[in-house]
Structure 1
Amino acid sequence: MGDQPGPPEPGDSMTPVPPLASPPVRASDDERHRVVELLGEHAAAGRITLAELEERVGRAYATTSRAELAELTRDLPALTEQAQPATPRRKASRWLVAIMGGSTHRNMRRLTGRVNIISVMGSDDLDLREVEIEGGELEVNAISLMGGPTIYVPDTVEVELSGPAIMGGNDERGSGRRPRPGAPVIRVRSFALMGGVDVWRLPAETRGLSLKAARRSAKALERGID
């Protein structure tokens, strides 16, 4: 009787090779920012708490893959067009992020649409004294977790400051001068946990001064704004 073939040896061409698992697709900074923006909108609608927002924002900036990002909004409904403000097109967004640190953003000459500020154990100074607001309105969304930004605006614009602050606060200070009717509007919406947003209205004539000197001038014009 002839020899019978034995079992295939390791490495034999007959041994099936398991397919290699595809590596997870990596997420971009823009994708992380978009998820954080969505989380902020859901927090504003009351679907998640600020504590949940803090936890999810931290995970969003720590993750590296699209799949992990998707998990952060999997239990939240899609935001429909009816649930969002009706606009002819999506507002352009600019992002400023401070994680355990901060910086001062100056020389912003022209802005349109929306500025989003994320502060996690850090803060940013946003100097808007010389900004030209296209369309007459600028939206600033500030998510503050154990920190928060300070925003400097000229007293020639209207400021609307709103939003919850838990174990923190949002404050408007500085010049008590009122802008002319029809002046540009800066709408600041804050979501703060153990932090908040400070908005300083600085006299228009202090635009060439340092922020410290401009604050001193604003305090002289302060009229009961806490």
Structure 2
Amino acid sequence: MTDDAPELRASDADRERVAEVLRDALAEGRLDMEEFGERLDATYKARTYGELAPITRDLPVGAVAAPKVDMVKKSGAFERSWAERIVGGEGSSTWAVAVMSGFQRKGRWTAPRRFSCFAFWGGGEIDLREADFADREIEINCVAIMGGVQVIVPPGVEVVVRGIGIMGGFDHREEGVPGDPGAPRVVVTGFAFWGGVGVERKLTRGQRQELREERRREKLERREQRRELRGEG
């Protein structure tokens, strides 16, 4: 792994790549079971590339590189820059209600400066991965009463959560991740009573496919290198 992005958040695919290197090292006798167990435990606890890097640094083909591409600009809508996606205007949808039902806002839409939603015995999904943004900072106000709302943001977006929960809660796990230069800021506010508002950072289907293809190429390269080493022996 390179040291040029040690604070970048690692994905599940990154952790699996490291785990695969460890399994190969165990099979080849480079690690004993105790070392393997310790390193595998550290792998699945790692949150950043900086935490993953030391785990395989002393193993052959152990440097699992941080992505050299901008994950925010790949696949469909993500080929556009953040400047192109902050479009101004009023937004294509400004509110949603789910009463014993559900709602979705996803795909290519324009998130307004303030989006308000209400879920009562129901659920909603607000997906910003392919969305445009009416402003550099938008607010998503969620009221969940015995229901739930899920907010999905793309990599590179800063998230701030200011909601209040009573016998319910707001998900704060994505707070504290620095945003990309020029990327929008998403502020999640509101109230949850016997309900919840989740916030999660996810790749698009196209981006996940690209990571799978990258992982497959790396696996093939490692196999070829092992064959070459056996041939030299």
TM-score relative to the length of structure 1: 0.47
| Greater share of helix | 2
